[in-house]
Each structure stands twice: as structure tokens, then as C-alpha cells.
Structure 1
Amino acid sequence: MSASPATSSAATRLWRPAAHRNLRNQWSKLSNYRKQWIAASSAGRSHATSLVNSFLSLKYIPHMELGVLSDMLNIRKKASDKLCKQQDSHRSNLLSSYKEMVGILVELVNASRSMRCYIKISSSPLLQFSSSPEDANDAGDGGDIPVCNFWTVSTFEQMAEELVEMFRREVILKRLLVLELVALSTEVPQPDKLSWSTELYHGESEDLAKCCLYSTETPGPVPPCLRDNESVTPTLSHTAQPTEETLQIYLTTWLTEVNIDTHRVDEILSLAGEEMRVTL
């Protein structure tokens, strides 16, 4: 039987530099998307803080001592109307930041799934390579041989998956915070809050599905992991607004990004860069 293009020694010699180039490209993307995430998360936290401040100011306006401003006509109403408009703007900006973070996660997932390099079936004396297999016997990993020094394609994939999983979990946690924050309202009675299955922007379910964060059985987004890695669908409050202390915890949780081990992310990028002889 003739050897598969994916397993012949000549193909392997040509496959390694092509696979090396592809890995450098994908890991450069992972590094750049990580930087984009930091910027989007920071912007989201700023919008969340502004939204909370507007909500608290609006909440306390009826009970504020206005001093010399008390004689001004409709001063409380004018202030309340302006704060309501600010709330709508901050709410919209927060949702935009969340959408941007989900989009970045989609790109992180795509890059982590594009580590393999397949050989095109061609009569050309120079082999060509693609991101999808044309030969059923071609696994895209060069027969699981080291690509650079010691790591195989599978090793690079495992490291990338560990990195992406942190951002996957963080997106779902941030979704929980966004749901609580965008539902802030001083109206009495309280309006119905969004449920966990509510789509926060058009196309969100499709984006989450690309990241394995959407369940077709429920259906709805995969719930965040709680203690001992248990998953419980969040029950959002419909009767009471969060206290000032609770809102501060929400903002601190957003800032901390508890699911992303920054030192481990830096370590993964450093190790992968050393293996490929590039700086990430």
C-alpha cells in the first residue's frame, strides 16, 4: 500500500516548518486576544461602576437634603430624569462590553482549535498545507512528532485549552453579574428581571454555543461553576434590589476576575513562546 501523504517521511520533513508557522500564528492570536480581553473587561467594569453610581444616586435623591437648592422648581425631578438617561446609557455600554468579551472568547476558541496543519493532496512537487483535512489518515499532527523541540501539536492544544477554559468560565460569571446590574431599577413595584435564559444581545446564543457554553437541553447558557465545580442555574432576585454592599461585591468580583489565573496565563504564554522561539 502506498504511504499516506500525512505519514511519508518526505511529507513529514515539509510538514514540520509549516506546522511551526501555523502554531506561531495561532499563539500570537491567543496573546493578542488576551490583551483585547483586558481592555474590554476594564471598560466593562468602568460602565458597571457608572451604572451602580447612577442607580444609588437615583435611589437616594428623594431622601437627600438639598439645602439652598430646595427652592428650585422640580429640582428633584430634573435630577432624577437626568440620572435615568445616564442609567440607560451605562446599561447599553455594559452590554456592549459584555458582547465584546464574548466575541473575544469566540476568537480564543477558534485559535485554540486551529493548531493542526493538514497536508493538501496535490500533484505539485511542493506540498501545500491547509486548516482542514483532505486525507482521512491525516490527523494534522505529523504523526504526533515534536514540532519544534519537545512539544507535539497535542501538547500545544492542551496548553491552549487550559488557557481558554479560564476565559470561558469568566465569561459566564460576568454574564451573571451583567444580568443583575442591567436589571437595577428604582421603580416601585420592581419590574420583572431578566431570566438566565434571556438572550442579552442578538446572536448571543450562537456565540455561546461556539464556545460550548450553551445547552440545547435546558435550553440556555451553561450556568457558572460554584463550589466543588458544581453547576446550578442561577436564581435571580425578582423582589428586592441588591444592597450597596452587594453591589460593591459585584464590582470587586468583576475587577478580580477570579476564574483567570494571571500568573498561569503568563506562564503558559511564556512556555509556548520558548518552545517556538518567539516572544508572546
Structure 2
Amino acid sequence: MSLCGDTRRGEETPVASKGTISVSGSQSPWTARLWRPAAQRNMRNQWSRLLSCRMRWVAASLEGRSISTALVNAHLTRRYMPDMNLGVLKDMPMIREHSCEKLARKEELCQRNLLCSYKEMVDALCQSVKARGSMRCYMKGPSSSPLIKFSQLSQDSDDPGDGAGVAVFISWPLTYFEDLAQEVIEIFASELSLKRLIVQQLVFIGCHETQEAQTSEQSWPNELYDGELDDLATVNLLCKETFQPTPPRIRGFLSDDPAMWKISRMPTRETLQVYLTAWIADLNIDTMRVDEIFRMVEEEMQLTPGSFPAALILDLSASAQQPTSA
């Protein structure tokens, strides 16, 4: 299921104007009447992007769950291989050693793939933040222009880009759409922080056996991939004072105990099972609330129920429109 194209930043919709209208924080009814169609198109675009990001997150999370399970199984099998009863295979030369080597390679592959899944979730959340920050629709160009143009980029400090609080579709002002988008982002951000802890634990299990791991210690503040801290700052998961990722949390519970974030390179079987269970459960994601938000937005935009992903999304570069008489 694909979404229609995103609005490109900086593109604009010229709207024919019968006269000169000055941009101000308090818009006239005529100005608001011109602003609404462009704002509606842009709002549909950005919520379409948010829905696409949510679908990307779900796909990456499901992939991460499958990879994590395979990783844990390979690690535990390799760990207990020396004591396993191999039956008729026990007398084959080097059978245990070869099996351990193959399992170790599988672990490394799973760890790389798990990190890719985590990075995909981070990027999906970063794109959600950008979509939320692109919901405003600003007037563009000089007031003397024969056309009133609209853009996602502000050129006038007196224009907040919210249509002076008028309803974008039926009854909601633009700021309410922003608040709902922010709520969705915060839900997934709290889950990302928890999943980061799980990824960090699983990516480094068994690494104590390598000489490289003995000379380099991994800890909570270290990046899991190049540029991760910048991405975490984008989604407000980086502490401004310490420039470290915010501590993992579960539904309002926030721990500042560094012992929580310490990496165990040889966790027990039970601990690994907890990691997998926590990943599967999506402990911080209130799925019913997220579904409710998207359903509410769909209704406010007067879309057919369930048709949001396939809705006709027009961008801000649409051709000039001739306004009808008031």
C-alpha cells in the first residue's frame, strides 16, 4: 500500500488575487479563504507522510523481532554447544568447532541486520518529526504581487502560517493537527529509547570473545552507527546538558540509574527471553490511541473511512486557481 507523493519544501501554490493583501498575524476573511485550500493540501500531504512513517516503523520492528529471535537462538546454541548431546554426530571430527564457527557467523550477520532495522526505525521517526514541522502554510512574495502564493517556508515574521487560527477543514485549527502529530511522535520516541537498549544489548552479546571487543568498551552514550546522536537529537531523545541519549523508559517510568544501561556480554537465557518479549510487546506504544488519532484526522479531513492512504494528495505546486466570488 503506497502513499501519494510528498509535498516538497519551498514549492508554492499561486492563487489569483483581485487586489493587494498585506500579510499579517491577523488575516482577513478573504485572505483566510485563499489560505485554506493550500493549507488543506499541505496538511493531507504531511499526515500521509506520518502514516507512511508509521508503516515503515511497523515493518522495521517486525523485521527486528524476527532477526532478534534468530540472533538469540544462534547465540544460545553456540554457547551450549560444548555440552550438547549430538547423538550419532558426536564422533564426527571437529563437528562442534565447525558448528560453532557457523553459528558465530550467523550471529554477526543477525547483529548487522538488527542494527539496520533499528536505523530504519530511527529514520522513520526523524521523517515524522519533519512532517510535523512542515504542516504550516505561509504566504509568500511581496504584498504588491498580483498573485498570492503559499509556501512551507516562512518569509515574514508576522505570518505564523496557521491561518490566524481558522479551521483548516471542519473545526480544527492547524495547531491541533500539530498537537496530535506530536503525541504520535512522543509515543514512538519512548518506544525507540527502549528498543535502543535492547538493540545495544543484543548487538554486543558474545563480543567479549573477540580481541577487538576486549580493547573497546561499548556503553549507553556511544553511537550505534555514525550520526546516530544527530538523529536522536532530531527526535528529542538526546539530553542537551550531557549530550547523551535519554535513559530508556517504560510508560512514564524514567530511571537515571546507570546500572540499568550497563551492557551484559553474557546475559542469561532468561534475560534474553525478556529482551525478546519486551521487543514483541511494544511496551510504550498505545496502539489503540495511535489508531484513534489517525481515524480522527481522517474524519476531520472528510475522507472515506479507511481511505486515508489512498486519498488524493495534491502538493503546493498545483497550478494557479481562480477564486470564486465571495
TM-score, structure 2 length as denominator?
0.80
Runs of 4+ more than 6 Å apart: none
Give per-residue Cα distances to partners, 1:121-171, cap 9 Å, x unaligned: 234323111112111110111111111111000110111111111111111
Instruction: Name structure 2 gaps, 5 residues minimum.
Output: 1-20, 309-326
Q: In structure 2, which of residues 35, 54, 62 is the aligned counterpart of residue 34 of structure 1?
A: 54
Task: Point out the more displaced range, 109-118 or 217-226.
Answer: 217-226
**Contact in 2 for aligned 1:55/1:186 (Cα 8 Å):** no
SS where residue 96 of structure 2 aligns? helix
Equivalent residue for 2:35? 15
SS where residue 205 of structure 2 aligns? coil
Equivalent residue for 1:154? 175
Equivalent residue for 1:248? 273
Give per-residue Cα distances to partners, 1:237-260, cap 9 Å, x unaligned: 456622212211111111111111
The AA in structure 1 aligned to 2:52 is N
- Counterparts in 2 of 1:96 and 1:233: CA distance versus 1, 3 Å: farther
Equivalent residue for 1:185? 206
Q: In structure 1, which of residues 171, 176, 194 is the aligned counterpart of residue 197 of structure 2?
A: 176
Matched, 1:205 2:229: yes
- Counterparts in 2 of 1:87 and 1:238: CA distance versus 1, 3 Å: same
SS where residue 275 of structure 2 aligns? helix
Task: Point out the more displaced range, 96-105 or 228-237.
Answer: 228-237
- Counterparts in 2 of 1:52 and 1:193: CA distance versus 1, 3 Å: farther
Equivalent residue for 2:283? 258
Equivalent residue for 1:230? 254
**Contact in 2 for aligned 1:119/1:140 (Cα 8 Å):** yes
Matched, 1:132 2:156: no
SS where residue 80 of structure 2 aligns? helix
Equivalent residue for 1:99? 119
**Contact in 2 for aligned 1:166/1:261 (Cα 8 Å):** yes
Instruction: Name structure 1 gaps, 5 residues minimum.
Output: none
The structure with higher relative contact order (CA 8 Å, sep 6+) is 2
Task: Point out the more displaced range, 98-107 or 206-215.
Answer: 206-215
Q: In structure 2, which of residues 85, 107, 112 is the aligned counterpart of residue 65 of structure 1?
A: 85
Give per-residue Cα distances to partners, 1:183-204, cap 9 Å, x unaligned: 1117569956520011000111
- Counterparts in 2 of 1:186 and 1:119: CA distance versus 1, 3 Å: closer
Equivalent residue for 1:220? 244
- Counterparts in 2 of 1:217 and 1:5: CA distance versus 1, 3 Å: closer
Equivalent residue for 2:5? none
Equivalent residue for 1:25? 45
- Counterparts in 2 of 1:61 and 1:74: CA distance versus 1, 3 Å: same
Give per-residue Cα distances to partners, 1:199-254, cap 9 Å, x unaligned: 00011111111111112421211112257543425434456622212211111111
Query: What is the distance in 2 between the residues matched to 1:186 and 1:80?
Result: 14
**Contact in 2 for aligned 1:102/1:207 (Cα 8 Å):** yes
Equivalent residue for 1:115? 135
SS where residue 271 of structure 1 aligns? helix
- Counterparts in 2 of 1:67 and 1:264: CA distance versus 1, 3 Å: same
Query: What is the distance in 1 between the residues matched to 2:182 and 2:265?
Result: 39
SS where residue 68 of structure 1 aligns? helix
SS where residue 127 of structure 1 aligns? strand
- Counterparts in 2 of 1:55 and 1:101: CA distance versus 1, 3 Å: same
The AA in structure 2 aligned to 1:171 is L
Q: In structure 2, which of residues 281, 286, 296 is the aligned counterpart of residue 271 of structure 1?
A: 296
- Counterparts in 2 of 1:239 and 1:69: CA distance versus 1, 3 Å: same
Query: What is the distance in 1 between the residues matched to 2:110 and 2:249?
Result: 28
Give per-residue Cα distances to partners, 1:71-117, cap 9 Å, x unaligned: 21111110011111101000000000001100000001111111111
